[in-house]
Structures are given as C-alpha cells and as structure tokens.
Amino acid sequence: MSKPGTSDWHIDPKALEAYYKLSGIQPLSGAGATRVLPTFGDAEGFREVYELADGFQLVTGDITCHKEAVLKLTSDGSLKFHFRLEGFSGWGLPDEEEHQITRYSMGVLLSPPGTEKSEHYLEGEHERSVTLICEARFLQERFAAMADELPAAIKDYITEREACHFNQKLPMNTEAVSAANSILENPYPGSLKRQYIEARALELLVLSLAACADYERNLDNPHKGMSARDLDRMLKARNILERDYAAPPTINQLARLIGLNEAKLMQDFKQLYGQTIFDFTQNIRMDEAKRLLETTSKSITEIAFDVGYEYSSNFTTAFKRRFGVPPSVAREAYKP
C-alpha cells in the first residue's frame, strides 16, 4: 500500500466531474478528447481534456465567467503546470493568502492528495489556458536523470513519488507562449490534431521543467533582483509590445510609458524573459504572420503590412530567418 502523500495511483477521471461541476460531457470525434462544460459563474465556453499518455493529461480552457465564483476543490496529488494566455484568476490553500494567476504566467502547482483548495474566478474574465497534469510515474520514466536540478518538492515527487506543497508562479517565455497558443489554435483535423497536441504538450513540459530548474538555480534571487514594482513594469512593457507589435514603440518611448530609464528597461526585460525587446517583438510579428498565412487568403504583401512591414522583401527576409523558409513556401504548405 502506498504511504500517504505518494502518487502510485492514476488520475481519477471522475475527479473532472467534481472539479468542473459538469452540465455535460461531450466526446470529440477524431481528436480523442472530452469536452467539459462548466456551470460555475454562469460561465460560457468549455475545457477540452486529452489523455495523452499513461499519467499525462492536457486540458485546454476557453471560458468566460459572467458572475464571480469560488470553487472548493480537493487535490488529486498530481503535478500541474498551468499556462495562462488570457484572463486572471486566484487560487489558495486554507489559511493562506490567495495566489494570482495572470496573463503570460505559468503556475506550478503540487499538493498532497486530499488537500482542500479553492479557485476564484472574477466576473467578466475571459480565460484562455493550457494545463499539463503529470503523475510521478510518468515523469520518473522520462525525467529522473534531471531531478537533482529541480526544486526539492518536484525532485521528491519524481524520485520518491511523494507529493508535498509546492506552488510557484513563473513568467512564460516566448517559446512557451507560442507552444501554448499553437495548442489552442491547432489548425489540423482529426487524428492529426491529436498528434500535433501531443508534440507541443511534450515541448511545453520540457519548457516547464527547464523553467523550474532555472528557478532552483536562482533560489536565492527568485525574481532575478527585481522588486515587485519592477516585475509589474516588465509585465506592462510586455503587454504593450503584445498589443502594438505591428508598430511597436521605440525603446525610449516604451521606457517613458512604464516609467524606467532605457538601460534598466532593456536589462530587466532580457533578464526576466530571456530575450531582447527587439527579438521578443520580432517573434510576435512572425508568429502572427505565420498564422495569417495558414488561416487567411490575404496576400503576402497584405500580411507583411499587417505585421508592420512597409516592404514585403524585408518581411520575406525576416520570415525566412525565423522559420527557415520564405512565406510563399509556408503558404503553399498549408493549402488544402
């Protein structure tokens, strides 16, 4: 018999019903997923649950709450990586201050089985999210060799299958944002959709563990020397760049908008997100261009203009540098 706090069980599918207080479960043809319809907070939307491997689940979320809601839940003892692309919500444990999950943050969540917790949804919030749910045995088979690089709680979970409390919010880098978005905006039908999700889910898991290892290396300096005010400024800068990627502000303009000098802005942004402001903006522009090539009939010249290029030749050079092929080849590859 397993000792209390260990994880030698399977994730109980019935827990999903209790978790989301379902109004119905609809099987999805082809992709092998289950669509979950939540009823809390007069919510609209759904979650889709994918059993990707034994001990490895993925849940996508696209939900809007029309009323504030607090859910009382019980932990199943699994390790969760929650990627929030839009929306805000809170979660907490008994006798603890509520934690926040915000846009472009990754929540790493682990609690012993049976732990009571709550999730707090605000009125009018639109959630777009991807969550990985991992059992210890799945992680042990694949990642035991790197366990020593991870925070002690996650290491013990992987090597000893013992779940204790570990809850941390980490920033999502561009690679994680891109992988999570590609799962939500999956262009493939049927079984190809599932195969694509499996590939990107494993990529997200690798990025998650790498982020946890980086957190452990910087344990004495978890926010890399930044104050809460500095972190808020970097999030504000990131939101501006995400919104205005086609015509981004200059470094000087961005520094003025968030109330920092240029040198500190550039230093803090790269330190927190792992890339320069220019590279971050370019990645957003190219990802949007790729999406437009795949999903619209706009000409390459129109798409170049949409993502902020006056000359299509410059756009073609930038696109090829990012993806290895010119936009014309990318467009041809996605023709039905």
d(CA 68, CA 122): 4
d(CA 283, CA 242): 10
Q: Tens digits of per-residue pLDDT, 144-203? A: 999 999 999 999 999 998 888 888 888 888 788 888 988 998 878 777 888 899 999 999
- Same domain (yes/no): 86, 165: yes
Q: Which of 155, 182, 217 is the last residue in one of the domains?
A: 217
Q: Is residue 5 part of a domain?
A: no
- Same domain (yes/no): 144, 251: no
| Cross-strand bridge partners of residue 107 | 82, 169
- Same domain (yes/no): 191, 61: yes
- Same domain (yes/no): 104, 172: yes
Closest CA to 64 of 45, 49, 38: 45
Running along the chain, 336 residues long, what does each successive block of 10 average in pLDDT? 38 51 45 74 85 91 88 86 88 77 86 86 88 94 93 93 87 84 84 88 95 80 69 89 92 93 88 84 89 88 93 91 85 67
Q: Is residue 116 part of a domain?
A: yes
Q: Which of 217, 240, 268 is the last residue in one of the domains?
A: 217
| Host domain of residue 319 | 228-333
The pLDDT of residue 6: 41
Other C-beta atoms lying within 10 Å of the C-beta of residue 158: 26
Q: Is residue 49 part of a domain?
A: yes
The pLDDT of residue 27: 47
- Same domain (yes/no): 247, 290: yes
Q: Which of 158, 188, 217 is the last residue in one of the domains?
A: 217
- Same domain (yes/no): 28, 118: yes
Q: Is residue 99 part of a domain?
A: yes
Q: Tens digits of per-residue pLDDT, 193-242? A: 888 999 999 999 999 999 999 888 776 655 566 777 888 898 899 999 98
Q: Is residue 283 part of a domain?
A: yes
